[in-house]
Chain A
Amino acid sequence: DVKVTQSSRYLVKRTGEKVFLECVQDMDHENMFWYRQDPGLGLRLIYFSYDVKMKEKGDIPEGYSVSREKKERFSLILESASTNQTSMYLCASKVGTGVYEQYFGPGTRLTVT
């Protein structure tokens, strides 16, 4: 079974803090993704990575950065957290570039106060 784990289920941070969200997958997948999920908006892609040290901006990259130093780990960084970044963050991984499904982690609910 593919397993995607996220470092925290719930996180509360203060405005202006630097926040790290970690994601690890155990199936040697090339592609990894970070989404945020908001009611009525579905999932929106923040960043994705198709290989170690490679990344591409998604639809809403502003205020975020990412790091992929190892194949199994993909980190999302909020440089200076703001209240409008309060959301559910979902990490996913996928094998190769074929038409394969993405495997999702359980999500991190981040609250910025």
Chain B
Amino acid sequence: AQSVAQPEDQVNVAEGNPLTVKCTYSVSGNPYLFWYVQYPNRGLQFLLKYITGDNLVKGSYGFEAEFNKSQTSFHLKKPSALVSDSALYFCAVRPYSSASKIIFGSGTRLSIRP
């Protein structure tokens, strides 16, 4: 079955420290991968996506993600966390065989302490 796993329900980081939010996937064929963020009382916003090419993808708000095919992972990273990064983060995958449907992970709540 095709799936996305976010193994951590919550990640706590001090402001200024690097952060990582983990994501692994299981799909057949080459995947298209996404990260979305949900700030309190707001809808999801797109952060970045991986289609092909360079394994390191840069996105909005200073975030980046690293695609690792051998580990089937797509971890979200930021070198220096801000309190304003506190939000709910979702990893998502679109199987190559799917025209439009994407599969979302369960979400990871990121909390940045001052």
Chain A contact residues, CB within 8 Å of chain B = 4, 31, 33, 35, 40-45, 48, 50, 58, 90, 92, 94, 97, 99, 101-107
Contacts and interface: CB of A to CB of B under 8 A. Distances in A.
A103 B100 contact: no
Given A42-B90, A42-B105, A43-B90, A90 B100 contact: no
Contact of B43 (A42, A44, A106): A106
B94 A99 contact: yes
A101 B107 contact: no
A43 B104 contact: yes
Q: What 5 A-B pairs have minimum CB-CB distances, sorted nearest first?
A: A104-B43, A101-B46, A43-B104, A42-B106, A104-B44
Contacts of A103: 46
A41 B106 contact: yes
A102 B106 CA distance: 17
B106 A99 contact: no
Nearest to A44: B104
Contacts of B36: 104
21 contacts: A4-B43, A33-B100, A40-B106, A41-B106, A42-B4, A42-B6, A42-B105, A42-B106, A43-B44, A43-B104, A48-B100, A48-B101, A90-B43, A94-B100, A97-B99, A99-B49, A99-B51, A101-B49, A102-B102, A104-B45, A106-B43
